Structures are given as structure tokens and as C-alpha cells.
Chain A
Amino acid sequence: MNAQTAEEFLMEIQKKAERGELLYIGKELRRIDDLEKVLGSPIYTNDLIPRNTLYARLVLSRYPHAIIKNISVSKALNYPGVRYVLTYKDVPGLNESSTIIPDRPLFAFNKVRSTGDIVAAVIAEKPNRAQEAKELVEVEYEPLKPVFDPIEAMKPDAPKIHDDGNIVKHVKVRKGDIEKGFQEADYIIENTFRTQHQDAAPMETETAFAVPRGEKILIIGSMQTPHHVQAAVAKVLGWPIDRVEVIQAVTGGAFGPKSDEPPYDVASIAALGAIKTGKPVLMSMTREESMIAHTKRHPAIITHKTGVKANGKLTASKVQIVLDGGAYASLGVLVIVRATFHANGPYEIPNVWNDGYKVYTNNTYTGSFRGFGAPQAIFAAESQMDEIAKKLNMDPLDLRLINMLRPGSRTSTGQLMDESCGLPECLDAVVKASDYRKKKELYSKQDGKIRRGIGIAMLHHGNALGPEGNDYAYVHLSVEKNGKVHLGTGLTEFGTGAISGLAQIAASVLGVPIDYFTIDRPNTLIHHETGPTVASRVIAIGGNAARDAALKLKQKLLPVASKLINCKVEDVQIVDGYVYCKGKEHKTISWEELVKEAYEANIELNTLGYYMAPSCKWDEETGLGSPYNQYTFGAAIAEVEVDTETGLYKVLNYYVAFDVGRAINPKSVRGQIYGGTVQGLGYAMMEELVHKEGYVVNPNLKDYYIPTSLDIPEQIQTIIIEKQGSMGPFGAKIVAEPPVVLPAPAIRNAIMDAIGKGINSLPITSEKVYKAIKS
């Protein structure tokens, strides 16, 4: 024990014990799964497949809207190397691949509604054979009149994409008396904002590998929610779900589409192909297939009408959000709920009238994507705030200080903010870090061709599912005889580090270092159905289940320890892998000894932790109530430099603060903030999956631009605020999604500060900036 004496060592343990169960909370521990990733080990689905695997490629629709008159696969079937061509005729169960509303067939059969619709899949011995034979699948179409503009699509005489009208979902918020609110206002400000299709562009595309196993099928793939994939495949096969085993492989990025319907498609196609051919089948979308056929972020058209008094107090806010849903409902019917509930921004406004619509069009479909409706809603709301400030000739910071949510305020749905509302602290932190007031003053005096500007954006973000579903989770812990702890759950890791966070929570409760933990691969055969891995909810919801499982385990172990070291149960301490009796530190045994003793006493070290969030109550008609149990808050300030002769601009600095309740692992929290910021920066500055008459023009990473390291500001300063929430473990709130939301409005407002004009559509290209300057 090196230079440390036994006594010093025990002192150290004692000190740690005094910090109780918070042992590893707030510690920047390494992720459990990081090493193999940074070493480039062959861990992803595509790395794992055996030699005799067959490959599938998708035949996508040639038209955005058309009747299918006939499909002939015989030519493709005869192509060398082709083993099978799947169409709707091959679906033994339900030809359906949808999450909430059953509106999307796995294989198009009577008509196609977008160019992302899957008409057939070719299964061949080599990917290139499948790719080549694709073109030999003959589909006869009779084109129908399409509609691409969601506003057009809402009109009663618009072409119908499904049997009913094109409005899939209408969400309302009605608070106070909106007309009275406008009457009380000194000014009324109206603006329209537009956002674009954004692609999630995960490094790994949608991928599934299926192996036929007698009357069962095994699926290994890249996804967020294996249990949902299991149910979807069982439905397509017409099998009971227990004949479908789904294992989530190491997943190379997800960002939302992998919680939506695309993983159902690849898994069902791989499974059908495997059953038809009797061989393992890999269905791994090419980048082009993925960018056309998977869900994207909804484009939005958002109109704001705001009433404000001359002193800056907001009196009324009326917002309409129209989301271009593309051809199918997907999880988008929930995206519009979040968008509508957050549409007015993080402000206290007495009179609110929001209408949110998710609308069918013949564009490719849109759905779940990091932020889930908040990026569009907050871009509009925060841009509107700066337009209001301009009208009042007021500093946008002051306008925010007057109206922002603080403890005691009520949100647009009337929800009371308690002490955990850390928005004022977040705003204060970024204002100080950026030296906002001084820079604002300085930049107002510029006159050259190169101008700088500074802009603010902030948000509140309802935590976890709220109105999006039952918020529960299971986490399973079991201890091997050698002391190793297995953590298993149907919640998944796809790059966030959240599952390591669960281990960190369990380790803290148990008093065992995280090195003892291994995380089992999520497997539907082994793990409980545990809800989706979405809404940033792993730590907030799953963390409670992990804590529960660890507490249950500890309850089993403490009596064993008590006997072993002859100590009262309530005095037994487990700290950093050592067990001792409070006040009698010399009687120490190791975790391994304790576990061994438990095994000998025939005590089963196997627990299932469970957590279900309190149900959220709100009124369907008015939206009023408390749709979320707790909120995350955030504020950001961007500084830009604009070249007024070309419109080219750079983001020089970005300061961002998030109230995350409690940072279980601050390094992971920062990682999420950095990553979200960069993805949000792409959304703000360059990303746009362009649709032209229903066709995706740039379905590849050479024409669809995402930020490179050179596009990232010199400085992204992150500040963590901790105002503990009521729901998450140790007060933790969610963090993974909100960072993606703030760059667009902050950058937009900074550019407005620099050039005096606001740009109300994303992405903000240099061309748009130039046009604004010269207009």
C-alpha cells in the first residue's frame, strides 16, 4: 500500500462514507464502452457478419405520389447472384411498419406516397449484385397529383395522401383570454419563421442483420429501442413476439430516427429475407437509402403574433406551427405536441393561443430527431423575442429579464415553476461569461464592412416523455460470485454515455467502484420491455430504476455483512469496494469477500429495479396543466462576425449554460452540450436536405453539408448549473437534447445584432445574410 499507511487509507474511506451514497455522483468517470470505440475495434453490426450472409438493397418509389399498377420481379430474380426479391406479397403477417398511427406499409402495395416509400427489396449474394438488380425490378405507376407544401395540403381540396384529410394531428394550448391580451398590448408584432429538413446523419446508417433459427429469428442491429423492433417484426411475420429475438448491437449514432420507424424497416426486411432464403441477411442502408428513406427533422412554418406593453411585459402570444410531416405520421404526432407546448419560449405570458398541426405531404416522411420539435419552436420563439426587442428599442437581454420563467412563474400551459427553475442562473452565467453588456455596447458603434454581433437564446425543455407516453424503466443488476456486477436493461447506449451513467448511479448506491460493472447487450429475450430510449430519459428515468435495483441489492447484502463483521446492519458501510462497521474501521473486508459469503449463504444477488414517473396531467382541449414533471433550462450567447460584402459569417464564440439538476457525470454532460451545439450549429448555418418536387436532391454527404471541425467556434464555453429537480435520481434532469436547440436562435440573433436585420428561415446561409444586408 505504497507510502500510505493503513490508517490513512481508512481515514480516506471514512471521508468518502461521510459523503454517503453520492460516492461517484458528479465524478468524471470514464465510460465503460469507450476504449473499443476509440480503438476502432470491429464492434458494429457490419463488422460482425459471417461469410455466407446475403445482402439486401431497397427499391424505392420513383414517384412522390402514384398508384402502383403492377410490380414484376422476374427479371431481377434472374439476375446472377440474386436470391430473392421481397415485395408486399411476401409479408405473411401485417404489412405495416409504423409506430403510433398504422398508416405506413412496410412495402408499398396499392400506392406510393413519397419517394422514400419502399416498394421492394432485392436479396443477393453480394451488395453490388443487389444494387444492380434493383434496377431490374419493374414497377408500373400511374402518377397522382402530389402536394408538397403543408399549408396547401391543409386545404380541403388538396390531394388526399391517405383516406382522411391531411391534418394528422392538431394540438392546442388555450390560456387566459387572447383577445383581451392583445387589447392590453401597446404593440403587436407578427412574424413568420421557416425551418428546413435536417438529416440526423449518424455515422452508422440504419442496419439490421437477421439469422434464421428454426421457428425463431434472431436480429442484431443498430437501433434505440429493441423491444419496439421486436414487436414490429413479429407483426410483419405474424408471429408471437417470443419467436423474435432482438439484440441491440453497438450503435454508431442514432439521434432519433433510430427510435422511429426506419429500424422496423431494416429489421423486418432482413428477417423476411432470412426466412425466405434460409440464410442470414444483412439489410444495411446505404447513405443514400438512409437519407431518402429514413425520418428527418420536420420543416416548420411558424407564425407568431405577440402583444407587448411599452415597458416590455408580454401580454399575449398566439402561435401557429405547421409541420411538414411528409407522407406518414411516424412519431411526428408526438413531435407536434412538444413543439406546441414549448412554442412561446421560456416566458410567463398570461394569454396564450397555440395551434400545432402535423400535416401529410408527398415529401419524404419526418419524425423523431434530437430536440423533438423544440428546435423549430424555440428558433421561432427566440427570434420573435429579438424582433419584439427591436420594436421596443430595448436590449433583448432586458426583454428576457422582464418575462423569463423563474421560481413562482407559470408556463404557457399554466404549470407552476418551483425552486428548481434555474433559468435566471443560466442566463446570468452566459451574460457574465460573454461580457454581454460591454460587447453589445461596443458592437453598436461599428461601421466597417466587417461587423460583429452578439445574440441570446434560451429555453425550457420538459423532461422525459411527459405527454409522449408512460415514463417507466427497468434496470436489472446481478452479481457474479467473483464480485462482478452485471447491469442489464432494455434502455440502450448509442453514443451518449448514458448507460455508463446508470452504472455510475448503481455503483454509488452500492459503494462499489464502476470497474466492477459490465453492461450487458440489450436483448429482448433477457431484458424487460422498458419503454423507448428517447427523450433524453435514460438518466432521469432509468437512473431511478438503477438506483432502485442497487438499493434492493444492498438490502440483501447488508445483513450478510452485518453477520460477517459483527456489526449492526445500520452501521455497515460499503465504500469503494470495502465493507466495514461505522466506528470500527479496522474490521474491513472486501466486496469480493462479502459477495462470496452471500453466495455461500444462498442469497440470490439478482434484483430488478423499476421506476415509473408520476403521471402528468393536462387537458387535451386546452393543453392546460402540467405536461412534464420537471424542466431543464438553458441559455446561450453567440458572437458572430459578418462580412457585409459577401454575407459570409463566422461564429467566433459560443457560451452556453444548462441547468441539468445534477450532473451525474459532468464530462458526459459537457460531451452532450458540445455535440448538441455542433449539430445545432449545422442546423443553423448549413444543413438542408433539399426536396424538389418530392425528390431528395442531395442524399449524400458531399452535397449535404454538416459542420467540419473548422466550422466550430474557437471557444464553446459550457457552464453547468445544478438546481435539483423533483424526479431524476439525485435531482438530475435531462440534458442530451436541449443543446441542439439553442445555436440557431442565438446565431440568428447575433447576426441581427451585427447587420440590423433578422433572418427568419433556416439554414442561415451567407446568401441569405447578403440578401438581408442589401435589402
Chain B
Amino acid sequence: MAYEKVEVYSPRSLAEALEILSQKKEQIKPVAGGTDVMVMLKDGALKEKELLNLSYIPELSYIKEKENHILIGATTKYREIRRSPIINAYAPILIEAVRQIGSPQIQNLGTIGGNLGTASPAGDSIPPLYVLNAKVKLQKVGSAREVHIDKFFLGPRKTVREADELITEISVDKMEPGSYYFFEKLGLRSANAISIVNAAGILSLENKTIKYLRLSLGAVAPTVIRATEAEEEAKGKELTEDLIERIAKLASEATRPISDIRGTAEYRKKATYGIVYEALYKILKGYGKKIEYGFEKIS
């Protein structure tokens, strides 16, 4: 029922938060930026009567380098990701995606952990995490585990997170210098729009030959998916218009979309071809974005 009274717990440390969670489990709902939870609350879609507010836990918000990885605290806000010199330098594909999430207001509040927690197949930060080989750290009182991103989601709004666990950290691989990347999003308007289709890709070229392509697609299946057949097809081949067509076709075939008020399943399938084709075509024609360590500007 809408407007029901909810009680909010605002712990000041992770330990305290985990303690509360261990007692309340599914009776309490973690909330970080609240950009999804508050909408549920207003719609009467929230079944929990208590909220666990994570925004006063500074130790959950950070961006750090660790060897070949970047560690991102779960409650790190999109605004902080966009401004982070580390992410700009080593994982700019994430910036590409985050720039297109909601609006400045949403980016000021929304967190990457919240996007994972919501587990929408259309979540825009998720496809880049797939191609960055992300690992999600889940913590509970006394223990922690790491789950690879492609094992984290079970379906729309379903994840492997147990009720007594919090998402605490996301770690991603640094991108290889010289590789190309893209994030493309198709929505019904230019901001504050849920993706009808989105795609993230990293393309590593040696001379003209493809060392590897990593390609993930969102909003076209129950979870974000990797287009593995398309990736296989690309490996070791020269990037040509023909190959791009084949890759885009395989990507489109990998989708299992549904129809909703924003678009039909058929269109989602076809548009997948379109956005993958164009992203790779831009790279072929020399308009692609390329990562050069240290030279990326802060957006």
C-alpha cells in the first residue's frame, strides 16, 4: 500500500549495517541513492517496512587502483565515477555509460551498487561491467565472497545476493591501452529514458586484426548478456564491413527480448543489429573512441 510508514536505519559503519541486516534479513531494504527505492515506495511496490540507509557509510564509497584492477565502492555515485581520474584513465567505457544514465539529478544520487541491486536488464552501468570482467563483492557478518558479473544476475530483478548480504565493492579490469570501446543506448528520448537496447563493447586490434572483441547487450534478455558467438566470430579476423555485418547479425541472434510499452521484441532484436553495426562501423572509419592511458580527459 502506498504511503505506508517506513522506518529508516542509518548505520555509520559497514559492520553496523551488516549487523542490522543479519537480524532483519528480507524484512529490511537496503537503500543507497534511493533513485529506484523511492519510486517503489511511492508506487506502493515496496514490501519491506524498514529501510537500511547506506548513505552514511563513507567506507563504502571510493574508487581505488589495485594492480590491474579498479575497485569501486558500492555506494559510489555516478557523479563521482564520471569525475574520477582513475576511471577516466583506465575504464572510460564506464564513463560512456554513466554519462547516459538518467539526468544530472539522478547521477548526483544514483549509485553503481544500486544499479546492480535493482538488477534491471536495462540497467545502463551493467553492460560495461560485463566487458570489464567485473566481480561483485558480497559481504555479510563474518564473511565475504566474490561473484563474477555473469553469475550475479538470475533474471529480471533477481540476483544471487542473499538477504543478509550487502554489495560492498565492484572490481573491474583495467582496459588495455590502445583498445577501442563503445557504449550505445537506444531510448525513447535523449535523457531520463530507460534503454530499449544498449550495448557495450571493447575491441582490441593488432594492426588490422582483431585480437578480441568483448560485446555485451542489455534490455534484450532476462539479464544483460555477452554476445559470445559474435565475439568468437570476430577473433583473429580483419575488421571489415563484411565482418561487422556478421558480428551485428550474430549479436542480434543472441537476443531473447520481450515486448513492452517502449518497444516490441522484434524491434529490439533488429535495433541490436543496428547499434552494434554502427558502433563497430565508426571504429572502422576512424571515429571510434580509443583508450590511451593518461590522456583521457575528465568528462
Residues in chain A within 8 A of chain B (CB atoms)? 127-128, 131-132, 135, 449, 643, 645-648, 685-686, 690, 697-698, 700, 702-703, 705, 707-711, 765-767, 770-771, 774
Q: Is B153 an interface residue (CB 8 A)?
A: no
Determine the chain A residues whose CB is within 8 A of the CB of B3 once the complex forms: 127-128, 131-132
Inter-subunit contact B261/A690 (CB<8 Å): yes
Determine the chain A residues whose CB is within 8 A of the CB of B191 once the complex forms: 708-711
Determine the chain B residues whose CB is within 8 A of the CB of A132 once the complex forms: 1-4
Q: Is B246 an interface residue (CB 8 A)?
A: no
**Told that A128-B5, A686-B189, A708-B192 touch, could you supply 9 new A-B pairs with CB distance under 8 A?**
A127-B3, A135-B1, A697-B261, A698-B261, A702-B39, A711-B190, A766-B188, A767-B271, A770-B271
Contact status of A708 and B103, CB under 8 A, knowing A132-B1, A697-B261: yes
Give Cα distance in the complex from A128 to B277, angstroms: 50
Give Cα distance in the complex from A708 to B270, angstroms: 26
A-B contact pairs, 24 of them (CB 8 A): A127-B3, A128-B2, A128-B3, A128-B4, A132-B1, A449-B278, A645-B271, A645-B273, A646-B278, A647-B267, A647-B274, A685-B189, A697-B261, A705-B188, A707-B189, A708-B189, A711-B189, A711-B191, A766-B196, A766-B271, A767-B196, A770-B267, A770-B270, A771-B267
Interchain CB contact (< 8 A) of A645 among B43, B193, B196, B278: B278
Residues in chain B within 8 A of chain A (CB atoms)? 1-5, 39, 43, 103, 186, 188-193, 196, 261, 263-264, 267, 270-271, 273-275, 277-278, 281
Give Cα distance in the complex from A127 to B270, angstroms: 46
Q: Nearest-CB distance from A176 to chain B (Å)?
A: 44
Q: Nearest-CB distance from B260 to chain A (Å)?
A: 10
Determine the chain B residues whose CB is within 8 A of the CB of A771 once the complex forms: 267
Residue of B at shortest CB range from A650? B190
Q: Nearest-CB distance from B63 to chain A (Å)?
A: 27
Residue of A at shortest CB range from B277? A645
Q: Nearest-CB distance from A211 to chain B (Å)?
A: 25
Q: Find the residue from B2, B103, B191, B281 having the highest chain A CB count within 10 A.
A: B2
Determine the chain B residues whose CB is within 8 A of the CB of A700 once the complex forms: 43
Determine the chain A residues whose CB is within 8 A of the CB of B273 once the complex forms: 645
Residue of B at shortest CB range from A131? B3
Interchain CB contact (< 8 A) of A766 among B4, B186, B192: B186
Tally A-B pairs: CB < 8 A: 74
Inter-subunit contact A648/B261 (CB<8 Å): no
Q: Find the residue from B5, B103, B278 having the highest chain A CB count within 10 A.
A: B278
Inter-subunit contact B261/A643 (CB<8 Å): no
Q: Nearest-CB distance from A763 to chain B (Å)?
A: 9
Determine the chain B residues whose CB is within 8 A of the CB of A705 once the complex forms: 188-189, 193
Residue of B at shortest CB range from A767? B267
Residue of A at shortest CB range from B271? A646
Give Cα distance in the complex from A702 to B188, angstroms: 12
Determine the chain B residues whose CB is within 8 A of the CB of A767 once the complex forms: 196, 263-264, 267, 271
Residue of A at shortest CB range from B5? A128
Q: Nearest-CB distance from B120 to chain A (Å)?
A: 13
| Interface SS of A by simple majority | loop
Give Cα distance in the complex from A131 to B5, angstroms: 12
Closest 4 CB pairs of A and B: A645-B274, A128-B3, A646-B274, A710-B190
Give Cα distance in the complex from A774 to B274, angstroms: 12
Q: Find the residue from B188, B192, B271 having the highest chain A CB count within 10 A.
A: B188
Determine the chain A residues whose CB is within 8 A of the CB of B5 once the complex forms: 128
Give Cα distance in the complex from A707 to B263, angstroms: 18
Inter-subunit contact A643/B193 (CB<8 Å): no
Q: Find the residue from B264, B267, B281 having the highest chain A CB count within 10 A.
A: B267
Residue of A at shortest CB range from B276? A645
Give Cα distance in the complex from A349 to B190, angstroms: 41
Determine the chain B residues whose CB is within 8 A of the CB of A643 once the complex forms: 274, 278
Q: Nearest-CB distance from A26 to chain B (Å)?
A: 36
Inter-subunit contact B193/A646 (CB<8 Å): no
Give Cα distance in the complex from A766 to B262, angstroms: 10
Give Cα distance in the complex from A128 to B4, angstroms: 7
Determine the chain B residues whose CB is within 8 A of the CB of A711 once the complex forms: 189-191
Give Cα distance in the complex from A648 to B186, angstroms: 8
Interchain CB contact (< 8 A) of A646 among B39, B43, B190, B275: B275
Determine the chain B residues whose CB is within 8 A of the CB of A449 once the complex forms: 278, 281
Contact status of A686 and B103, CB under 8 A, knowing A645-B273, A705-B193: no
Determine the chain A residues whose CB is within 8 A of the CB of B103 once the complex forms: 708
Determine the chain B residues whose CB is within 8 A of the CB of A685 once the complex forms: 189
Determine the chain A residues whose CB is within 8 A of the CB of B274 once the complex forms: 643, 645-647, 770
Q: Nearest-CB distance from A123 to chain B (Å)?
A: 16
Give Cα distance in the complex from A700 to B4, angstroms: 20
Give Cα distance in the complex from A128 to B6, angstroms: 12
Q: Nearest-CB distance from A762 to chain B (Å)?
A: 13
Determine the chain A residues whose CB is within 8 A of the CB of B263 once the complex forms: 765, 767
Determine the chain A residues whose CB is within 8 A of the CB of B270 once the complex forms: 770, 774
Residue of B at shortest CB range from A771? B267
Q: Nearest-CB distance from A671 to chain B (Å)?
A: 23
Residue of A at shortest CB range from B103? A708
Contact status of A646 and B186, CB under 8 A, knowing A449-B278, A708-B192: yes
Give Cα distance in the complex from A702 to B261, angstroms: 12
Inter-subunit contact A703/B261 (CB<8 Å): yes
Determine the chain B residues whose CB is within 8 A of the CB of A686 once the complex forms: 188-189
Give Cα distance in the complex from A645 to B3, angstroms: 44
Give Cα distance in the complex from A703 to B261, angstroms: 9
Determine the chain A residues whose CB is within 8 A of the CB of B1 once the complex forms: 131-132, 135
Determine the chain A residues whose CB is within 8 A of the CB of B267 once the complex forms: 647, 767, 770-771
Give Cα distance in the complex from A700 to B277, angstroms: 34
Q: Find the residue from A131, A703, A766 having the highest chain B CB count within 10 A.
A: A766
Give Cα distance in the complex from A647 to B268, angstroms: 11
Residue of A at shortest CB range from B184? A646
Give Cα distance in the complex from A409 to B193, angstroms: 47
Residue of B at shortest CB range from A644? B274
Determine the chain B residues whose CB is within 8 A of the CB of A710 once the complex forms: 189-191
Give Cα distance in the complex from A703 to B189, angstroms: 11
Q: Nearest-CB distance from A205 to chain B (Å)?
A: 15
Q: Nearest-CB distance from A295 to chain B (Å)?
A: 22
Inter-subunit contact A131/B278 (CB<8 Å): no
Give Cα distance in the complex from A605 to B213, angstroms: 82
